[in-house]
Amino acid sequence: MRVRQEQQAQRQPASRPARAARQNDALAGLHTTAGNAVLARLLAPRPDRADGPSHDAAQDREGLPVQRITDRPGGSYDASPQPGESGPHFVAQGPEPRWAMGGGDGREPRDIRERLRYELAEVGPANAPLRVADDGTLAVHGVDEPKEFYAVQAVVDNANAALRAVNSTVELTTGGRSIGVGGQRLLRVQPTVIGDQAADSRPGQFVSLLRSTCISVACSLIGSEHAKRAQAVLADDSDFLLTPGSDSDTRANRLADAVAGDHTDTLGPDGALAAARGEGRPAADLGRRYGEATRDGGRDTTERRLGINKYASPAPGEGFAIFSMLAADQRDHSVSPPATRGENVWGYHFAAVVARSLDGSCQVTLENYSRNEFDEKARAELYAVLLRRANAGRGWFAQLKPLLESDDQQAFKAKFDEVLAALVRDPEVRRNRGMPRLQLQQDFEDHTCRSWFFRVYGGGPGESFHEQQAASGYFNNPMTLRVQRPRAEAGAPAQ
């Protein structure tokens, strides 16, 4: 079955795989995203990778192929229960929406119990691998979309101080469980929206971040008052405003053009800032020129001076922004041979940093992405379930038809409305054929706002945000920037 629909502006970013988790049958269905296979390449350190700075971490370690994140298999750390602890140690979030029965919470349309949900499964420590920071002060569940991380209290205190300083919409809270890793006791950490009650510890009762799209979530977490406005910051704290459209940002494009043209290795923050704020248009085929210029470290010293790409290292309360630079042939020229990514290319992705290890070597992001379109497969499954229940009622319901591969969007909506009208008992709701379908969509959107996840990025080979995202295959000729709340919102002149 194929139903025509709008392509999502942001898709799921890939994460480094957890090998041990793949061996567990109970989690196998939750670990089948494209990113798992792609990012397995990152497990082999590259000797030519220069170790990136961690904003204020030790600069004397640059150039050393030091691993900042260690993989620990499930069962290799102390998860013995401590007095007063309860709730799950870990929750795994499925990669695709599936139909599920409603809980009678009033959000679904009258008499329609079925809905779309991302599956959640409680995971015990024996089956939960970890990605542990170099200094052991934080650890993240080693799956694609972890719903918690563990850290010492000082990490959480530092993070919350930074988040409060930018008027972030969230704070980090601890409770429920703890684990022992490397001689330190780490506490389970989750986000709480400022002013809301703490999230229930049961699977599925996660706090709503109010938005699901990556840039809206990130801007909210870094304290921006606008859903699509952030300040890009270069290495010397020079900055310029980012206001991306549907798939790009003109200032980011102009900066990439300047980096591509830096044949003499002389571009500094002043020149980069002037280029980004300028009025000129990038030369022809920006993506190809930029991708070829940055391939295999071709602009490494420029990137280091500017604090971009693998050298972008935001602190808690700031974030990452990665942009694709599109080539005329639609290929990724930052790799050799140039790769064809097909329809899986994103224009950009934003991620807010909410914590980092005490030594500054690892950063934890809180991310989400646009999930609000009904996934084609999930919609078909949901419709099939609704159709069976409606047809069981006989009468005119027996005339209802299944979705066809040839159905366009209008046919899809009409059939959905017919089926829902057969199931709804309230005459007023039943007369408005579109209302139940819209209510189902709104319910799913509310659920996606609770589908956020944490990620961990480090300063070792292949561990940076830029390298992990570039390796995911979701970007063409990517450029990564450090971002923060716009200066004008912090009381300074607009840039």
pLDDT tens readout for residues 97-120: 999 887 655 556 777 888 888 999
Per-residue pLDDT at 390 exceeds 80: yes
**For 183-191, what is the mean pLDDT?**
96
Among 282-286, 454-458, 485-489, the range scoring the smallest mean pLDDT is 485-489
Q: State residue 19's pLDDT score.
A: 31
Contact 13, 369 (CB under 8 A): yes
Per-residue pLDDT at 158 exceeds 90: yes
pLDDT, tens only, 428-444: 777 788 888 888 888 88
Q: State residue 52's pLDDT score.
A: 36
Higher pLDDT, 27 or 10: 10
How many C-beta atoms surround the C-beta of residue 100 within 10 A? 17
If asked whether residues 459 and 439 sit together in one domain, one would say no
Please report, for residues 155, 377, 397, 410, 424, the alpha-carbon distance to residue 434 in angstroms, rounded to integers and kept in the order given: 48, 21, 17, 12, 12
Q: How far is Cα 386 from Cα 439, in angstroms, rounded to an integer?
A: 15
Per-residue pLDDT at 457 exceeds 70: yes
**For 420-433, what is the mean pLDDT?**
81
| Domain annotation covers residue 5 | no
Please report, for residues 185, 201, 309, 340, the alpha-carbon distance to residue 343 in angstroms, rounded to integers and kept in the order given: 44, 38, 23, 9
| Domain annotation covers residue 7 | no
If asked whether residues 361 and 395 sit together in one domain, one would say no
- Angular region, 316: left φ>0, alpha ψ -120 to 50, beta rest: beta
Burial of 341 (0-12, 13-18, 19+ CB in 10 A): middle
If asked whether residues 135 and 176 sit together in one domain, one would say yes
**For 231-248, what is the mean pLDDT?**
93
Among 262-266, 383-387, 480-484, the range scoring the smallest mean pLDDT is 383-387
Contact 275, 122 (CB under 8 A): no
Cis preceding linkage at 269, omega within 30: no
**For 278-291, what is the mean pLDDT?**
94
pLDDT, tens only, 201-214: 455 578 999 889 99
Q: How far is Cα 361 from Cα 134, in angstroms, rounded to an integer?
A: 7
Q: State residue 400's pLDDT score.
A: 86
Last residue of a domain, which of 146, 175, 209?
209
Last residue of a domain, which of 163, 181, 209?
209
Q: State residue 203's pLDDT score.
A: 54
| Domain housing 123 | 19-209
How many C-beta atoms surround the C-beta of residue 176 within 10 A? 18
pTM for the model stands at 0.83
If asked whether residues 136 and 282 sit together in one domain, one would say no
Contact 220, 211 (CB under 8 A): yes
CB contact set of 374 (below 8 Å; sequence gap of 6+): 5, 97, 116, 382, 441, 444
If asked whether residues 336 and 428 sit together in one domain, one would say no
**For 401-407, what is the mean pLDDT?**
87
Per-residue pLDDT at 374 exceeds 70: no
Give the torsion sign (CA, 350, 463, 286, 481): positive
| Domain annotation covers residue 80 | yes
| Domain annotation covers residue 4 | no
pLDDT, tens only, 253-276: 999 999 999 999 999 999 999 999
If asked whether residues 380 and 337 sit together in one domain, one would say no
Higher pLDDT, 78 or 418: 78
| Domain annotation covers residue 247 | yes
Q: State residue 16's pLDDT score.
A: 39
| Domain annotation covers residue 9 | no
Among 1-10, 60-69, 403-412, 430-439, the range scoring the smallest mean pLDDT is 1-10
Higher pLDDT, 445 or 124: 124
If asked whether residues 53 and 185 sit together in one domain, one would say yes
Q: State residue 397's pLDDT score.
A: 67
**How sure is the predictor about 239, in pLDDT bands with cuts at 50, 70 and 90?**
very high
If asked whether residues 75 and 138 sit together in one domain, one would say yes
Angle between helices 376-391 and 409-423 (to 10 degrees): 40
Q: How far is Cα 168 from Cα 95, in angstroms, rounded to an integer?
A: 27
Amino acid residing at 53: P
Percent of the chain's residues with pLDDT above 90:
59
If asked whether residues 440 and 463 sit together in one domain, one would say no
If asked whether residues 438 and 458 sit together in one domain, one would say no
If asked whether residues 50 and 179 sit together in one domain, one would say yes
If asked whether residues 358 and 381 sit together in one domain, one would say no
| Domain annotation covers residue 12 | no
Mean pLDDT of all residues in the chain?
83
Q: How many structural domains does the chain have?
A: 3
**How sure is the predictor about 190, in pLDDT bands with cuts at 50, 70 and 90?**
very high
The radius of gyration computed from the CA coordinates of the chain, to the nearest angstrom, equals 24
| Domain annotation covers residue 178 | yes
pLDDT, tens only, 23-51: 333 333 332 222 332 322 232 333 333 33
Higher pLDDT, 332 or 280: 332
Q: State residue 258's pLDDT score.
A: 97
Q: How far is Cα 149 from Cα 365, in angstroms, rounded to an integer?
A: 10
Please report, for residues 89, 137, 307, the alpha-carbon distance to residue 179 in angstroms, rounded to integers and kept in the order given: 9, 11, 35
Averaging pLDDT over each range in 194-203, 440-449, 464-473, which range is the top one? 464-473
